[in-house]
Amino acid sequence: MEAIARALDSDLAYRFRRSPVAMVAGLVVVLLIGSAVFAPFITAQNPFDPGSLNLMNGFSKPMEPNQFTGETFVLGTDDQGRDVFATILYGMRISLFVGFSAVIFAMVLGVTLGLISGYVGGRTDTIIMRIADIQLTFPAILVALLIFGVAKGITPPDRRDEVAIWVLIIAIGLSEWVQFARVVRGATLVEKGKEYVQAARLIGRSPVAIMVQHILPNTLSPVLVIATISLALAIIAEATLSFLGVGAPPTQPSLGTLIRIGQEFLFSGEWWILFFPAMTLLALALSVNLLGDWLRDALNPKLR
């Protein structure tokens, strides 16, 4: 309770209440994540359970009763009679799961390497940072495609759908760790020179203890900012890969997969199958990004 009260009274909370953009973006993010998490309680239909589908409902227009069954779907249905609203909620689950997992993976990897690079210095630092430089010269999508291709080559065809999501997470995570590593390395170099670190060295604390207990907590605010912005990037990267057909399989469609499926119907007049998932992706990525921008300003007012 005390912790909650302190959090509500913090500078961050104060700045949040003063920023309309952050509040709207925050609301959208909470709403979208909430509805994805509680999808089964919000829609009656599980669009990926073939038993719950009725082909007769295919191509229902938004807000109009279906010509055969008379059922009304707020956002319409696709060719197989899946409620677009339900597919969006379930698709968002995959998108968010991949996004969060990829960011956590990138964060753990990047923060660890950044801490080691900054604290140990010397040759270790050079090697880690050169790898990061090389990584940066490849576009993230290319890295992801490469990993995806390799993974596809080494997994047996019948298990591909199972591992697809995990490959996606690793591919996106690997393309984003550099950001974390660089920022943490920079912060570590600054903190390493401070006297509290010398005080810990003086009493013989081990390098690992100093890195984890002393330096790490003091590098976390920029990490939080990058994590938020990376989340938006990861969601978009996932959508891009899925749109290209190398991401989430049609049996577990993410927002990107939905957009890919939807664009097949765009020119035959069934616009809503593409439009609503695309708008959801836009709203999600934009809100998360705005939240990240606000967080960066709020945590470091001097950067503005």
Residues interacting with another protein, by CB under 8 A? 11, 14, 194-196, 198-205, 214, 217-218
Nearer residue to another protein within complex by CB, 44 or 203: 203
Nearer residue to another protein within complex by CB, 129 or 167: 129
Nearer residue to another protein within complex by CB, 158 or 195: 195
Nearer residue to another protein within complex by CB, 214 or 260: 214
Closest contact distance (angstroms) between CB of 196 and another protein is 4
Q: In this structure, what is the dihedral angle of CA atoms 260, 266, 272, 278, given to the nearest 10 degrees?
A: 40
Nearer residue to another protein within complex by CB, 14 or 166: 14
Q: Which residues share a beta bridge with 239?
A: none
Nearer residue to another protein within complex by CB, 61 or 201: 201
Closest contact distance (angstroms) between CB of 190 and another protein is 10
Nearer residue to another protein within complex by CB, 144 or 216: 216
